[in-house]
Chains A and B, each alone.
Chain A
């Protein structure tokens, strides 16, 4: 039953699966739940800035190659 839910093979609980799609990973590691402010991170993790670049990244990638990270994904 677990196997049907988890779209990748997950050797240990909470271990980052290699096949996890980048787009899902970025949803989580890019400051979605900021707890603290770092010293140098202020400009780096400024969310609009990151989102903007990310958007540009995703768009430009899409035009050149079809969703390269979908390969390892659950789709």
Chain B
């Protein structure tokens, strides 16, 4: 291979960084495919920390390639799970700071240099998340989300007791009733979210609200009112079950707890 060809190859490759660890066990992720075919995952030392990296084709990670991937659910899922598998395997072997999907550098030297410059933030994240796990909490309203057609107005609506003084007036009252019901439901939802969030915050070292999922993606007709995630000390994780049950009983809402997660959501804040 000529020098020019070598240069060409290195220009076409990039380094994908999955996570940063203290002392990862190389056997922990030995069998995992990562995000590139035929390239082994390996460790890249920088200062006192180690990154878990993989050489990838730069052409697979251009903005265009990524946008196309984001629009293909199968591809997106494949990459997300591959990334998550490596991060999880690393975290099972040592304290780990997961990096977001698709964090890439032009090469090893460049990655070492950039990561080294962030060492303090990695160490702070490792300190913050040591002996903690992330737990997801999603809350759904008790009643299914039914769109309110005009005829399901409350029976207490004054318009319903009258014979038919005027269709227009009845219509307006129905609209008002529906509007009031919507507002009431909205306020109830906010209150429910606050109640559950406050309860979990009391147990957690930190908490974050994530974007709410639209009903179609949750596979349920119940409205999601809270999608939050909490950093919980390992010795307090056993309290999550009883707290969840108590909240379900007192609020009547459905509460889904997931975890333990690698603390993805708690490594970026200072």
Contact (Cβ within 8 A) A31 B218: no
The minimal Cβ–Cβ distance linking B119 to chain A, given in whole angstroms, is 10
Contact (Cβ within 8 A) A61 B261: no
Q: Is B112 an interface residue (CB 8 A)?
A: no
**Among the listed A1, A31, A45, which residue makes an inter-chain contact with B238, where contact means beta carbons less than 8 Å apart?**
A1
Contact (Cβ within 8 A) B99 A14: no
Contact (Cβ within 8 A) A15 B258: no
- Give the docked Cα–Cα distance between A56 and B67 (Å): 11
- Give the docked Cα–Cα distance between A8 and B260 (Å): 11
B213: A residues at CB distance < 8 A: 23
- Give the docked Cα–Cα distance between A22 and B73 (Å): 10
Contact (Cβ within 8 A) B217 A45: no
The minimal Cβ–Cβ distance linking A46 to chain B, given in whole angstroms, is 9
The interface bits of chain A over 28-70 (1 if a CB of B lies within 8 angstroms of the residue's CB, else 0) are 1111111111111101110001100110111011100011111
Number of interface residues of B (CB under 8 A): 75
Contact (Cβ within 8 A) A44 B214: no
Contact (Cβ within 8 A) A32 B268: yes
Task: Decide yes or no: A1 and B103 within 8 Å by CB, A15-B89, A40-B58, A62-B216 being known contacts.
Answer: no
Task: Decide yes or no: A33 and B211 within 8 Å by CB, A4-B241, A39-B110 being known contacts.
Answer: no
**Among the listed A33, A43, A56, which residue makes an inter-chain contact with B266, where contact means beta carbons less than 8 Å apart?**
A33
The minimal Cβ–Cβ distance linking B202 to chain A, given in whole angstroms, is 17
Contact (Cβ within 8 A) A38 B71: no
**Among the listed A4, A10, A29, A68, which residue makes an inter-chain contact with B80, where contact means beta carbons less than 8 Å apart?**
A29
A35: B residues at CB distance < 8 A: 20, 97, 99, 118, 121-122, 125, 267-268
- Give the docked Cα–Cα distance between A41 and B269 (Å): 19
Contact (Cβ within 8 A) A29 B104: no
- Give the docked Cα–Cα distance between A4 and B245 (Å): 10
**Among the listed B102, B115, B227, B262, which residue makes an inter-chain contact with A14, where contact means beta carbons less than 8 Å apart?**
B262
Contact (Cβ within 8 A) A15 B58: no
Contact (Cβ within 8 A) A40 B105: yes
- Give the docked Cα–Cα distance between A50 and B63 (Å): 11
A71: B residues at CB distance < 8 A: 219
Contact (Cβ within 8 A) A74 B258: yes
B230-270 residues with Cβ-Cβ distance < 8 A to A are 238, 240-242, 244-245, 256-262, 264-269
Q: Is B173 an interface residue (CB 8 A)?
A: no
